[in-house]
Amino acid sequence: MKKTHAETNGAGAIGVFDSGVGGLTVFREIARALPREPLLYLGDSARVPYGTKSPATIVRYSLEAARHLMDRGVKMMVVACNTATAAALPQLQALLPIPVIGVVEPGARAAVRQTSGVVGVIATEGTVRSKAYTHAIRLLDANIEVIESAAPLFVPLAEEGWANTHVAREVAEIYLEPLIDAGIDTLVLGCTHYPILRGTIEQVVGGAVHIVDSAETTAETVKAALGKSTGTSNPARRFLVTDAEERFRRIAGEFLEQEIEHLELVSLG
């Protein structure tokens, strides 16, 4: 198939894939850690959210996204969505000829470094059902107790800009009190949307609980996997969405605190 100019625009970039805007928390940390690397973000906004969908559907959507990023020539793929990582990372790693990095293992590693024994994980229904964090943490240290709990309303609260409202605070109390009562000393934000509510979550759990946001540790993992960065100054930062580009432009612009210059609507599947 002949490639158009637009389709070649990701050549040599690190591809960052998410179901919508949540992966921008990871994108931001990668951009900070690797200021000379071109980045290509793909948000599947036509099918967001993934968290309530079945593993088979999430695998299908993730493979379609991977195919699109491969066609654009990315040299590495970051699955910046916990639900997609939990459901599809092994398949993606087996099928793609480039390094594929998920967000669960970096988050698990950071949790193991910080905990003194009891880790809480909040995530989507899909991620919790997969027990991906429990498996990843206990593979590193079988003595750690892991309590996973779904917090599905955090995603629409973040998407709708309600992160710092009294409603978000009340929802956070309902989701987090059972974890606090269970004695967690570390809390993993196991969905890339949740760092948007970090302030509210910190208020509820208090200063004694370590918060793990896998965005930072994922960026460290990407940097380590990349080895020597061969980028340029002022590298391209491009964004692809499958729907509603103006909505994405607004949310991403506010979140990244910069104007979104290169934004393109694409079709997957």
Q: Whole-angstrom Cα distance, residue 3 to residue 57?
A: 28
Contact call for residue 162 and a second copy (CB under 8 A)? yes
Those residues with Cβ within 8 angstroms of residue 57's Cβ, 6 or more apart along the chain or in another chain: none
Residues with a catalytic annotation lie at: 81, 191
Residue from the set 8, 57, 164, 258 that interacts with a second copy by CB under 8 A: 57
Minimum CB distance to a second copy smaller for 214 or for 242: 242
Q: Which of these segments, 43-51, 141-149, 178-186, 222-230, binds a second copy (CB under 8 A)? A: 43-51
Contact call for residue 157 and a second copy (CB under 8 A)? yes
Minimum CB distance to a second copy smaller for 220 or for 243: 243
Contact call for residue 68 and a second copy (CB under 8 A)? no
Contact call for residue 174 and a second copy (CB under 8 A)? yes
Contact call for residue 247 and a second copy (CB under 8 A)? yes
User: What are the structure tokens assigned to 20, written together?
Assistant: 């919508």
Q: Whole-angstrom Cα distance, residue 27 to residue 25?
A: 6
DSSP string, 183-233: T-SEEEE-STTGGGGHHHHHHHH-TTSEEEEHHHHHHHHHHHHH-S----S
Residue from the set 35, 90, 178, 269 that interacts with a second copy by CB under 8 A: 269
Q: Which H/E stretch holds residue 76?
A: strand 76-79
Minimum CB distance to a second copy smaller for 199 or for 269: 269
Contact call for residue 167 and a second copy (CB under 8 A)? yes
CB 21 within 8 A of CB 251: yes
CB 26 within 8 A of CB 193: no
Contact call for residue 145 and a second copy (CB under 8 A)? no
If DSSP codes are grouped into helix, strand and coil, which group holds residue 237? strand
Q: Which of these segments, 64-72, 83-91, 207-215, 241-249, binds a second copy (CB under 8 A)? A: 241-249
Size of the site for a second copy (CB under 8 A): 26
Contact call for residue 152 and a second copy (CB under 8 A)? yes
Cα 101 from chain centroid (whole Å): 11
Q: What share of the chain is helix, strand, coil (3-state, %, to 5)?
A: 50, 15, 35
Cβ 131 to a second copy, closest distance in Å? 17
If DSSP codes are grouped into helix, strand and coil, which group holds residue 23? coil
Residue from the set 153, 180, 211, 236 that interacts with a second copy by CB under 8 A: 153
Contact residues: a second copy, CB under 8 A: 45-48, 52-54, 57, 152-153, 155-157, 159-160, 162, 166-167, 170-171, 174, 242-244, 247, 269
